[in-house]
Structure 1
Amino acid sequence: MKGFTHEAIDLRHQLHRNPELKYEEVETAELVTKELERYGYEVKTGIGKTGVTALLDSGRPGPVVALRADLDALPICEQTGLDYSSKNPGKMHACGHDGHTATLLLVARVLKEHVGLLPCGAIKFIFQPAEEGGAGAYAMIQEGVLESPKVDAIFGYHNFPGTELGHVIVRSGCFMAGANMFKVTVTGKGGHAAYPEACIDPVVAAAALIQNTQSIISRNISSGEQGIISITQLNAGTAHNVIADDVELQGTIRATSPKAMDYLIERFESVVKHSVATFGAEASIEYTLDPPYPPTMNHPKESELVHQVAKESLGENRVHWLDGVSSMGGEDFAFYLQEVPGCYFGVGNGMSSPSLHNGHYDYSDEILADACQLLCHTAIAYIQENAATYSN
C-alpha cells in the first residue's frame, strides 16, 4: 500500500490546488472519476448534481457497506504559503475534504487490488458534493444513492484539529450537532442621524437583539444538552450621518438533539421579536439552510464496530471512546444516518493544527494511510459479521 499512499498524497495536493465550492465540483468529480476508472471501476456520475459513486462487488450475495467522502471546498482565502496552495482566489480546502477524498480513492484502490478479502456483498464508494451548507448528502439520497444496491450500513470520517495526530475518536449517539442558519431583518424608520427622535433606529434595536439572544443558551438549555446561537454578520447603513431603514443579521443555531433545536428556534424567534419591539422596530426571520442539518447520531452497534476495529488496527492507546459530543460543528453525514445504520468518527489532525475553516489550516498527509486502513478494515469487518444473514 506504500506506493499507493504516495500517489494518494499527490492526488490530495492536486485537489488542494484546485478547490471548488458546493455544487461546482465539476473538475473535482472528473478527477475522481478518472482515478476510479483507472483502478478498474465502473463509475456513475452526476448524482446530486456533481456526486460520483463506484461499486466493488464480490459477486456473492451479502451486506452492502457504503463509505463516503466529501468533495467541496470553502469560500476562504488561503494563507498557508504551501507549494500546493489554492490556485483559485477566495476558495480553499479549509476543512480537509481534499484529504477525505484522497483517502476514499486510496481505499477504493487498495480494496480493488484485494477484492478477494470480501467474503460476500459489496462496498459502495460515495463521493459527495456540497457538504458545506448545500446538504449534498440529502441531494444524493433523494436521487437514490443508498439504493441499487440497497446500502445496509455507512461509515465515514472527519479529520479533527486539536486531537493527537492519527488518534481516533468515536462514540455512539450524537457525535456532532445539528445546525441551521438564519437571516434576520430588523426594520425601523430611517432618517438623519442628527435627529434620532424622528427615527426608529434599527441598529440600536439590533444591538439589543444580539445581547438578548446570548442569554438563551445559558438560561434555557439544561446541563444535559448543548446548544449555540452565534450571530456572525451585521450589515447596516450607508453613511455616518444616516440612520438606516433596516439592518440585516446572519448567524447559526446549533443543538445536540432535535428537541433542543426546536426549543432554541422557538425561544430565538420570541426573543428577536420582543427585543426589537421595545424600540418600535419589527423583525423578520428567514432560515437559510434547506434542509437544516440534523444532529449526527451514530448507531450503537456500528460505533462499537469502529471502536473495536480501530483498536485492533491502530492500537488501544490511539483510540478514544467519547462520553460527550465531539463537536458543535454540523455535518450532513447525519442525513445518511437517518436512513441506514452507521458511524461517523474522527481522526486527529494534530494538536497544533490550525482549526477548520481557517486560512492557515491544512489536512495532514500523515493520517491518510491510517484513515484508509481503518475504513478498509471496518467495511470488511461489517460484511464478515453480517454475512450469515445472507447465507440462506
Structure 2
Amino acid sequence: MVSSFPTPASINLSRVRLAIRSLQPQLVEWRRRLHQKPELGFQEKLTAEFISSKLQAWEIDHQTGIAKTGIVATIKGTKPPTHNFPSANRRATANSTQHSALSTQHSSLSTHKVLAIRADMDALPIQELNEVPYCSQHDGVMHACGHDGHTAIALGTAYYLQQHRQDFAGTVKIIFQPAEESPGGAKPMIEAGVLKNPDVDAIIGLHLWNNLPLGTVGVRSGALMAAVELFDCKILGKGGHGAIPHQTVDSVVVAAQIVNALQTIVARNVNPIDSAVVTVGALHAGTTHNVIADTATMKGTVRYFNPAFQGFFHQRIEQIIAGICQSHGAKYDLEYCSLYPPVINDTNITELVRSVAEEIVETPMGIVPECQTMGGEDMSFFLQEVPGCYFFLGSANPEKDLAYPHHHPRFDFDETALGMGVEIFIRCVEKFFS
C-alpha cells in the first residue's frame, strides 16, 4: 500500500508505566476478540456481555442496559484528598470560554470530584477484507473505525484504576456507549442519567486516528469535529417522452440545478473564515434513455464547526429548493435531520490532556494541535453538558500496512496505541484529582 503518512513518531515506551506495558497483551487480546464479534448500533449485546463479564470479574460496580446496551462502570479512589476543589460547573452552552470563567469565579467548594471517560463500542455495516486471524466473524459487519480499540482501552483503564484506587482521590465513571456511528447513543445515555448520581464534573474521550501516525496525539481546544446534518429531498415533476419535453416537468433538470445552487451556500453565504461543507452524496432519477423522469431523489450532508450555524443551513437549503422548484413548476418533499452538534473542547480540560500527552509522546513532533476534521461524533452531546476534551490518538503505521482510512474495508491500526491510550487516561485521572 502506498501511503503519504510520515513515519511513526519516536515512541519511548519507558514513558508508559510498567504495569500498563505488562497489560498490553491483554489489551490486544480484548481488542481482537471484540473485532471478531462486531455489532451495529444498539445491537451490541455480545459486546456488552463481554464488558460486563470483565467488570464483574474485577469487582467493579457497573450498570448495564442503559440506552439498550450501554454500560457505566464506577470506580472510587481511596486516596484522601489533600485540599478542596472548585465545585462542578454544569455546561449550559458549548462556549468553552464561559466554562473557564465560571470555574474561576465560583466560590463554593467540594471535596469530591467526578471524572468521566467515554468509549464507543459499535461497528459498521462493512464487509471486512482484511486477511488476519481476528477478522470479523459477522458477515457484513466490521469494526472499521477503531471502536473495538476504544473499548479495549477503556477496559484496560478500568482494570488499572480498580487495582490502584489508592493513587487517586475521586470517582471515575467509565461510559461504554452504543451506537455512535448511527443513530447516536450519547444523547439517550445522557437522558438516562449517566452524568448524574454522582454528578460528573468533566469528561474525556479519545479516538484512535489513522490520519495521524503512531506516537502522536491530536489535541486542541475549541472546535475539533463538525456538526452533522443530513437531508433527503424528493423532486416531484411530471414525466413524459424524451422527444416531447414541453409536455413534462423534468425532475432531472430541476435536481441538477438544485445540486449546483446548493454549492453557493458555502461560497456566498458563509464567512470564508468559517469552515462548512454542503455535499450531495446521492442523486437518482430515471430508468432509460427516452423517458423524462417523473421524480428525482437526492441525499446529502452538511458539516460546520460554528454552533451559530445551527438552523441556518436547513433554512437556506429549503429556500433554494423551493425557489428552483417553483420556477420550473415542480414540487418537493424535504426531510432534514440535525444529527450531531459540533465537538467543542473546553480550554481547561484540553490543557490537562495536552500536558499529559506531552509526558507520553515525543514533543513537539508528537503533539498535533491543528487536527480538526469535518467528521462528526456524538461525544458532542456529552461536551454540551459538562466541560471536557475529546482527542485523537495516532494509530497509523504504514510500515506495517496499517494506514488505511477509517470506514475502509481494510481498516486496521497499530495496536501499540492501546497501551498508550490507557497511560494517557490514567495520567489524566491522577492529574485531574491532584
By the TM > 0.5 criterion, same fold?
Answer: yes
3-state SS of 1:338 partner = helix
**1:162-189: CA deviations, max 9, x gaps?**
2121200111110111111111111111
Indicate which of 129, 132, 137 corresponds to 2:186.
137
**1:90-133: CA deviations, max 9, x gaps?**
21111111111111011111111111111x21101100001113
Give the letter aligned to residue 329 of structure 1.
Answer: G
Show the 5 A alignment for 1:130-209: 130-209=179-258
3-state SS of 2:142 partner = coil
Task: Provide the alpha-carbon RMSD of the alignment.
Answer: 1.8
Q: Bigger shift: 365-374 or 159-168? A: 159-168
Say if 2:397 and 2:414, in contact at 8 Å, map to a contact too: no
Show the 5 A alignment for 1:271-310: 271-289=320-338, 292-310=339-357
Give the letter aligned to residue 335 of structure 1.
Answer: F
Indicate which of 31, 35, 40 corresponds to 2:50.
31
Identify unmatched segments of 5+ residues in structure 1. Answer: 385-392
Q: Could you say if the C-alpha distance between residues 17 and 313 of structure 1 is closer, same or farther in structure 2, counting changes exceeding 3 Å?
A: same
Residues 1:348 and 2:394 aligned together: yes
**1:230-286: CA deviations, max 9, x gaps?**
111223334454433222211211100121343333222222222333332222221
Q: Could you say if the C-alpha distance between residues 213 and 63 of structure 1 is closer, same or farther in structure 2, counting changes exceeding 3 Å?
A: same
What is the alpha-carbon distance in structure 2 between the residues aligned to residue 114 and residue 190 of structure 1?
71
3-state SS of 1:147 partner = coil
Residues 1:122 and 2:122 aligned together: no
Say if 1:21 and 1:72, in contact at 8 Å, map to a contact too: yes
Indicate which of 86, 89, 94 corresponds to 2:139.
89
Q: Bigger shift: 358-367 or 54-63? A: 54-63
Indicate which of 16, 29, 32 corresponds to 1:10.
29
TM-score, reference length from structure 1: 0.92
Say if 2:218 and 2:371, in contact at 8 Å, map to a contact too: no
Say if 1:307 and 1:319, in contact at 8 Å, map to a contact too: no
Say if 1:307 and 1:321, in contact at 8 Å, map to a contact too: no
What is the alpha-carbon distance in structure 2 between the residues aligned to residue 162 and residue 317 of structure 1?
18
What is the alpha-carbon distance in structure 2 between the residues aligned to residue 332 and residue 314 of structure 1?
27
Show the 5 A alignment for 1:360-375: 360-375=410-425
TM-score, reference length from structure 2: 0.83
What is the alpha-carbon distance in structure 1 between the residues aligned to residue 391 and residue 288 of structure 2?
49
What is the alpha-carbon distance in structure 1 between the residues aligned to residue 261 and residue 197 of structure 2?
50
Say if 1:302 and 1:343, in contact at 8 Å, map to a contact too: yes
Give the letter aligned to residue 427 of structure 2.
Answer: H
Q: Could you say if the C-alpha distance between residues 325 and 285 of structure 1 is closer, same or farther in structure 2, counting changes exceeding 3 Å?
A: farther
- Who is 1:389 aligned against? none
What is the alpha-carbon distance in structure 2 between the residues aligned to residue 157 and residue 85 of structure 1?
24
Shift of 1:325: 5.8
Identify unmatched segments of 5+ residues in structure 2. Answer: 1-19, 81-110
- Who is 1:58 aligned against? 77
**1:349-382: CA deviations, max 9, x gaps?**
2264111111121132121110110011112211
Shift of 1:319: 3.6
Say if 2:238 and 2:250, in contact at 8 Å, map to a contact too: yes
Q: Bigger shift: 294-303 or 12-21? A: 12-21
Say if 1:168 and 1:318, in contact at 8 Å, map to a contact too: no
What is the alpha-carbon distance in structure 1 between the residues aligned to residue 32 and residue 284 of structure 2?
37
Matched length? 380
Q: Percent sequence identity over matched residues? A: 38
